[in-house]
Amino acid sequence: MTTTVELRRPLPVTIAVALVYVGGLLNTALGVLVLLSRYEVDADDVLPVSLVGAATILLGLLTVAGGSSLARGSRLARNLLTGYLSLLVVLQALSLVLTELEPTIVIAMVAALAVIAAVWIPPKARRYFLRASPDAAAPAPTI
């Protein structure tokens, strides 16, 4: 009989997972708002605002999709979400310049930076993502 060791997810990672789900859905909604704000900008800015809005929607949905893998301790999910969130911060900075949604965008930027900090800075969170996967630790079956 093999024994399984239950590894507890650190609190910063749990908070980051919750922020990933909420932030991803809010970024998707923010992308829709940015996309709809193209009707209120100059004719020269319609295409950039549309592209920024569409990219924000896409990255928001990808962020939500990566949340469950982040909860399981996937290093790949942590790296991908860091990339997605970094791109979202850049897109939100562009949205600040192109639209008039300042308070909403600033809150979204702070939330994205908080998630990145929660999965990279605390030592417990770093150890959680560096641990070996449960399948790799299991002994090979003997026949």
Predicted confidence at residue 57, as pLDDT, reads: 93
For the record, the structure tokens of 78 come out as 């942590």
Does any domain span residue 6? no
Does any domain span residue 137? no
**Alpha helices per DSSP H over the chain:** 11-36, 46-71, 75-98, 102-120, 123-130, 134-137
Does any domain span residue 103? yes
Does any domain span residue 136? no
Q: Which residues in the chain land under pLDDT 70?
A: 1-7, 132-143
For residue range 111-135, list pLDDT tens digits in order: 888 888 888 888 888 888 887 555 5
Torsion, CA 72, CA 78, CA 80, CA 84, rounded to 10: 110
Residues 18/82, Cβ–Cβ less than 8 Å: no
Does any domain span residue 63? yes
Rounded CA-CA distance 84/6 in Å is: 30
Predicted confidence at residue 5, as pLDDT, reads: 55
For the record, the structure tokens of 111 come out as 């939330």
For the record, the structure tokens of 110 come out as 């702070």
Residue 17 vs residues 33, 49, 124, 137: alpha-carbon distances, Å: 24, 29, 15, 25
Residues 43/107, Cβ–Cβ less than 8 Å: no
Expressed as residue numbers, the domain containing 122 is 11-129
Does any domain span residue 2? no
Rounded CA-CA distance 46/120 in Å is: 37
Q: Model-level pTM greater than 0.85? A: no
How many domains is the chain built from?
1
Does any domain span residue 140? no
Sequence letter at residue 32:
V
Rounded CA-CA distance 62/25 in Å is: 10
